[in-house]
Amino acid sequence: MKIALDAMGGDFAPQAAVAGAVLAAQRLAGKAQVVLIGSEAEIRSLLFEHGPSATTLEVVPASQVIEMGEHPTKAFQQKQDSSIAVGYRLLHSGEVDAFCSAGNTGAMLVGAMFTVKAVPGVLRPAIANFVPKVGGGMGIMVDVGANADCKPEMLEQFGELGSLYAQYVLGIARPKVGLMSLGEEEGKGSAVTQAAHQLLKVNPHVHFIGNIEGRDLFNDKADVIVCDGFTGNVILKMAESMYDIMVARQLNDAYFEKLNYETVGGSPILGINDNAIIGHGVSTPLAICNMLMQGYQMAQSGIVDQIKDTFKS
């Protein structure tokens, strides 16, 4: 099995990316190989600094880089030899089993849609993120930014996609699916969430537990939190900032430490025909390493085949 990394993606690339890849390669030894994509000279020189064993890592050259500020679609189309474009080509051709990048999020989404494409039946792929539960374990929130405006049917599918991920990657037998709203009662919510509630209620693929509220994010009510990408993005960034404020104020706590993006690694794109993960722009080597580990787990789980099966009908 091969897990590829965009070595040029992220604010501290290629240094942080290469260092993270070296860490992951050690952890995955005997199970999977890490493939680095980007400027071969730069990557080889950095690998050399990490010692003899690091120099054995596979490098696939890519001469271009999509910068953080670039327009995703334009950049992806024009920079065909960018690390993101090359990564998706390797993924699509089956040369690698997962592709991870802490680079331009939009370009990662565009690349997914242009190359590996959405699973037939999936209206719109979504980005998932993990939510540590106070009582232990992890929940998953879908969508956290790919789709600002959602139709009820999209929210319904986010519930299905999240539920499959919770089952096959997180190992939760019968994931509880909750719909983020502004009240527990069925009739509460926006027009879209009210309609999505009715769809989820009768969907045979999910164990729908009804509406949840902002206060339920970290408790055990739901394993899968369904929301539009606008709400999910606000939630995600707000949680991150509260963690940052706690760190700045020297409040150390084992639970809140789980909100540290470094320990999670990245956000999988769900609903595409392959395993792609988007990392945080400020990714450190540890975050990169954890993103690659997550890519391995995702590839290992066969989640994409499960999604294809579910949406086939």
End-to-end Cα spacing for the chain:
30
Q: How far is the CB of 178 from a second copy (least distance, A)?
A: 12
In whole angstroms, give the CA distance from residue 305 to residue 307: 5
Closer by beta carbon to a second copy, 108 or else 289? 108
Closer by beta carbon to a second copy, 61 or else 210? 210
Q: What is the CA radius of gyration of the chain?
A: 19
DSSP 203-223: -TTSEEEEEE-GGGTTSSS-S
3-state helix, strand, coil in the chain (%, to 5): 45, 20, 35
Closer by beta carbon to a second copy, 29 or else 148? 148
Closer by beta carbon to a second copy, 56 or else 250? 250
In whole angstroms, give the CA distance from residue 198 to residue 282: 39
Q: How far is the CB of 36 from a second copy (least distance, A)?
A: 29
Residues that bind a second copy (CB under 8 A): 134, 145, 148-149, 180-182, 188-191, 193, 213-219, 227-231, 233-242, 244-246, 248-249, 251, 253, 255-256
Closer by beta carbon to a second copy, 1 or else 234? 234
Closer by beta carbon to a second copy, 50 or else 195? 195
Q: How far is the CB of 97 from a second copy (least distance, A)?
A: 30
Other beta carbons within 10 angstroms of residue 233's beta carbon come to: 19
In whole angstroms, give the CA distance from residue 64 to residue 78: 10
CA neighbor of 218 nearest in space, from 128, 162, 135, 129? 135
Q: How far is the CB of 304 from a second copy (least distance, A)?
A: 26
Phi, psi of 271 (to 5 degrees): 105, 10
Q: How far is the CB of 210 from a second copy (least distance, A)?
A: 16
Q: How far is the CB of 234 from a second copy (least distance, A)?
A: 4
